[in-house]
A and B are shown apart, each in its own frame.
Chain A
């Protein structure tokens, strides 16, 4: 108080002096609360940033395996007409269709690569490839080699077309791109529900 009174010159009247001191005090308080708000805001921000960083730590930058992009080297790609290749890390069958092969319903398939998600659309069993299964048992005589679910007997052609069993739809397919070096990238996170047009989803491959 005494210091302020000594330095305070404005206001000759006592009321002026009181007003000056009051303003000084108000400014001091305002400065202090501003500092306090800034400190706590800064603290909240930095702790928030660290918490966000910690959460991000649990994120993988390039997820591999099922759910991410699975690379299939050229050597593993079956030649046209061969049995489908089992790509276990991506949970799919890689079929290389020759011409209208597998297009049992005749929707106009022209052949090429097709990645078929191996999960049965019925109740989720893993569908194996049965190379010796005769199509005669499911009214498609002459065609050997079918996908046949061990759980309830749903049967699918090379292109995943359902021809028999309780499955509600053909096998699901995955997005597939061909790299310049002849290998494949299959996005196992991008699964399209199977439909009659499965044979039309093929990607031509001349590798």
Chain B
């Protein structure tokens, strides 16, 4: 039998070497391609986005039927809504005179504008549903039990924030649907005993849905509530890790 000589590097091998085994690439990605257990753990531990995860976790937790990825997908919806929302902000002015015209402009004149608006709206609906389903998943798997009591409370707060985010965004198109939905919605808040009418007045900046309400809802929708939600999400994710990862039978 002939002695095997190592195969000559092909063109693609050389190209691969040039692309990934150079000084610049290695300064960005410290670890090599994650094809060995060592590299696979390193990439999770050293990457800022991945280090939300532990490097290894229990076998039962990677079963899709255990979580259905609902929490992660809720977060993914939040990210997607941030991206599409920022893009829509380029074309939208929250003034009573312009808001509706801007919506028409986004739908007719802006390239991919209709698509972007659709994405934002359906993602928002999806997020409300996903967050609720995530809550049901956590409840029925008993994942709220000690030591995760407080994380469940944060989850309830995040559910409320999701509703509020969706609700404040509902007014922005300034069409009949938006106007009357917010009128009905804030009337519900205004029905609160003692504090109701005053809190409705504060929320709307007047007795009726008008220019003040539009700018208030807009500011809450694009910065106030997302910031608050992001803070609570950070605590939520941090606590998952601190409380020992996903719940598991003892």
Contact = CB atoms under 8 A, between A and B. Distances in A.
A–B direct touch in complex (beta carbons closer than 8 A): yes
A75 interface: no
A61 interface: yes
B1 A59 contact: no
A59 B111 contact: yes
B1 A60 contact: no
Given A15-B1, A54-B87, A60 B109 contact: yes
The CB with the most chain A CB atoms within 10 A, among B87, B111, B113, B116, is that of: B111
B112 interface: yes
Binding site secondary structure of chain B: mixed
11 contacts: A53-B112, A53-B115, A54-B87, A56-B111, A57-B90, A57-B110, A57-B111, A57-B113, A60-B111, A61-B109, A62-B108
Contact of B116 (A57, A59, A60): A57
Nearest to A63: B109
Given A57-B111, A57-B112, A60-B109, 19 more contacts: A15-B1, A53-B112, A53-B115, A56-B111, A56-B112, A57-B87, A57-B90, A57-B110, A57-B113, A57-B116, A58-B90, A59-B110, A59-B111, A60-B111, A61-B108, A61-B109, A61-B110, A61-B111, A62-B108
Interface residues on B, range: 10 to 19
Contacts of A58: 90
B27 to A, nearest CB: 20
Contacts of A56: 111-112
A62 B109 contact: yes
Interface in A1-39: 15
Contacts of A57: 87, 90, 110-113, 116
Interface of A: 15, 53-54, 56-62
B40 to A, nearest CB: 14
Interface in B97-134: 108-113, 115-116
Contacts of A61: 108-111
Interface of B: 1, 87, 90, 108-113, 115-116
A11 to B, nearest CB: 12
B35 to A, nearest CB: 8
Contacts of B109: 60-62
A58 B111 CA distance: 7
Contacts of B108: 61-62
A60 B87 contact: no
Nearest to A52: B112
A54 B119 CA distance: 13
Contacts of B87: 54, 57
A60 B112 contact: no
A36 to B, nearest CB: 8
A52 to B, nearest CB: 10
Nearest to B87: A57
Nearest to B90: A58
Nearest to B4: A22
Nearest to B88: A57
Nearest to A58: B90
Contacts of A60: 109-111
B165 to A, nearest CB: 22
A16 to B, nearest CB: 10
Contacts of B113: 57
A60 B108 CA distance: 9
Contacts of B1: 15
A140 B229 CA distance: 74
Nearest to A64: B109
A58 B113 CA distance: 9
Contacts of B115: 53
The CB with the most chain B CB atoms within 10 A, among A15, A53, A56, A57, is that of: A57
Contacts of A54: 87
Contacts of B111: 56-57, 59-61
Contacts of B116: 57
Nearest to B116: A57
Nearest to B113: A57
B45 to A, nearest CB: 22
A15 B1 CA distance: 8
B134 to A, nearest CB: 26
Nearest to B91: A57
